[in-house]
Homo-oligomer: A and B are copies of this chain.
Amino acid sequence: MTETTEAQVAAEVKTPSPTAENATEVPAATTNGHAEEQPASEQKPTEETNGTSTEDKAKSEPKEELPPPKEMRAVVLTGFGGFKNVKILKKPEPAPQTGEVLIRVKACGLNFQDLMVRLGAIDSPPKTPTILGFECAGEVEAVGEEVEGFKVGDRVVALPEFRAWSELVAVPTKYVYHIPDEMTFQDAAAIVMNYLVAYILIFDLISLREGKSILLHSVGGGVGQAIVQLARTIPNVTIFGVCSKGKHEALAATGLIDHLIDRTDYVNEVRKITTEGVDVVMDCLCGEECNRGYGLLKPMGKYILYGSSNVVTGETKSFFSVARSWWQVDKVSPIKLFDENKSLAGFNLRHLLYQQDGSAYVRSTVDKIFDLWKDGKVKPVVDSAWALEDVAEAMQKMHDRKNIGKLVLDPAMEPKPKPATPAKTKSKKQASEDKSSKKDKSSENGDDKKDEEAKTNGEEGEAAATTPEAVNGDSAEKKEEPVATNGEATESEKKESS
């Protein structure tokens, strides 16, 4: 990695951002489809070098006094859609503006939100091309004007709205937090977003108390694992963790979850254990799970919606699944809540942080989380670490809900040599998981759309009107080159994720 001085950075800020067209471009490797066939060794060498490509030199030749604009590797979304739109590109290094610090990124956190951004399935989506990523940790390399409380060399974690998955990122200090000396960058990137959500849910919105029971979707994901740990700081809490059967063994081994419930029939499974229901339902899925979750509440129970990952079904955006997630959610009158002694809440960290000026509140919560970490009460579960070049594969794993805990990217990490060389940075277990995952995908490739619709309708027997028009609308949407993940994705339609 190149160390950049402040003088260099100042010179480079005038360089216009390259568009997707003129940037040096390498598609992010995926584990499936055509991209998978292309071994890392065949990728363009510019991907691994930094600011020294011939293209760059040609550009900067007329200005002899100025050094060539420095470039960095970044994970760029070139357009909404499938994994092929996620590319590793060379981008000019940013410079910190007033109130910003420039961070040399050492670790990035993947969040389910990143999948939704890729699909364009979020409100106020960014303009493409854009550098992806909401979460990174690293060292302050330069500080902009009017910055207080941060200096070069500070170890920090940041929550920029996009642009976190890059070698360098300039972030307004209101989204930057110092990390404890003993905390690794990887742990920092694995902690902040997930534990922020978990902490705010557990302590500020639910105010979970001794003796209460909680039902938690996607218990194997990063937020799920964070919620479990924080809930365990309160005595005598009963945790019903919902996830796919395949994760039960690994999660049972943690000994933290009282009842592991398969997601296919979780309502009946919970009712078998407790006819009266639960005190809290934490829902990151949305759609029909809202109604089901509300129905599972005891009197004085609290339901909270903090994600809408049910929107993500296939690899590309599905109007059908988006519409389903909206139409199936019953509106509730406050009078019903009054009659039934129930609460409904929603939490959206992105809106809070970037649209609702919640940065001071978030900062105070980060402090509390780091205090808990120092006390040993917060131990981030990292599923696996990946090179930037392997981001598509990491996203695929999250999409398939195969992760237990957090997926992180490490810009300094070597991409996985493919396909023959054994994975250098992974455990045996991890490598074998990947292998079997690939097998599934290749065998299911082909009849993706048809398969998805059939399974969707089958699974939504309880749901409200899903008209043929809606299905057609979905099918008629973006006719992308089919990618191997579609068949797989439908299997995990009722999914668990970070």
Contact = CB atoms under 8 A, between A and B. Distances in A.
A60 to B, nearest CB: 46
A335 B346 contact: yes
B346 A300 contact: no
B339 A348 contact: yes
A207 B336 CA distance: 21
A294 B305 CA distance: 18
A343 B346 contact: yes
Nearest to A207: B207
Contacts of A335: 286, 290, 305, 308, 325-326, 329, 346
A341 interface: yes
Interface residues of A, number: 43
- This chain's copy number in the assembly: 2
A404 B333 CA distance: 31
A346 B345 CA distance: 12
B205 A338 contact: no
Interface string A18-56: 000000000000000000000000000000000000000
Nearest to A349: B341
A394 to B, nearest CB: 26
A338 B300 contact: no
A120 B350 CA distance: 47
A344 B332 contact: yes
Contacts of A308: 335, 338
A334 B344 contact: yes
A345 B337 contact: yes
A303 interface: yes
A11 B302 CA distance: 49
Given A306-B338, A332-B331, A337-B305, A345 B343 contact: yes
30 contacts: A204-B300, A207-B207, A286-B334, A286-B335, A299-B352, A300-B361, A302-B345, A303-B334, A306-B338, A325-B335, A326-B335, A329-B333, A331-B331, A331-B333, A332-B332, A332-B333, A332-B334, A334-B344, A337-B345, A338-B348, A339-B346, A339-B348, A341-B346, A341-B347, A341-B356, A342-B345, A342-B346, A343-B343, A343-B344, A344-B345
Given A308-B335, A337-B344, A340-B351, 15 more contacts: A204-B207, A204-B209, A205-B300, A299-B351, A299-B352, A300-B361, A331-B332, A332-B334, A334-B346, A336-B346, A337-B345, A338-B348, A340-B346, A341-B358, A343-B345
